[in-house]
Amino acid sequence: MGLMQTSRVKSPWILHFDNSSCNGCDIEVLACLTPLYDVERFGMVNMGNPKHADILLITGPVNRRTARVLKNLYDQVPDPKVVVAVGTCASTAGVFHNCYNILGGVDKVIPVDVYVPGCSVRPEAIIDGVVMALQKLASL
């Protein structure tokens, strides 16, 4: 791996976006940042600004309102980027699948690279998903 690839894998900055989740998955995403899991060990930082992010962590099913926002955020993240759908809802819409306002999983709006199932998803699984996303990022 070249210097660029190594740096890419070592410094994934994360953008966390909540579509319309029940907040269960969001709490687990934030749990990753706490001293117990401390993802900053791997250089991961929760950015809160799409223009600085590398990895999008999307939670919750897409509804008619958030679809546009999600698309917009995805376009604002500079390449190379990867998308991780965190939780069953983000992957398939889960328990919300036949609600009147729900379009479906995140992949209905933007391309998804890694699906992390679970309701709610465990922090270990999120970290695992991000590591898988990093492997993809290294090969881009």
- Interface residues toward ligand SF4, by CB under 6 A: 21-22, 24-25, 59-60, 87-89, 94-95, 119-120
3-state secondary structure of 22: coil
Rounded distance between C-alpha atoms, residue 126 and residue 83, angstroms: 12
Q: Which of residues 21-60 bind another protein (CB under 8 A)?
A: 35, 38, 40-43, 45-49, 51-52, 54
Q: Which of residues 52-111 bind another protein (CB under 8 A)?
A: 52, 54, 76, 78-80
CB of 84 to another protein, least distance (A): 17
CB distance 14 to 44 below 8 Å: yes
CB of 53 to ligand SF4, least distance (A): 21
Cβ proximity to another protein: between 42 and 110 the closer is 42
Binding residue for another protein (CB under 8 A) from 1, 10, 64, 68? 10
Phi, psi of 47 (to 5 degrees): -85, -45
Give the one entry of another protein, ligand SF4, none that residue 46 binds, where binding means its C-beta sits below a cut-off of 5 to 8 angstroms depending on kind. another protein
CB of 139 to ligand SF4, least distance (A): 28
Task: Enumerate the β-bridge partners of residue 83.
Answer: 56
- DSSP letter (8 states) at residue 31: H
Task: Enumerate the β-bridge partners of residue 105.
Answer: none
Rounded distance between C-alpha atoms, residue 91 and residue 95, angstroms: 11
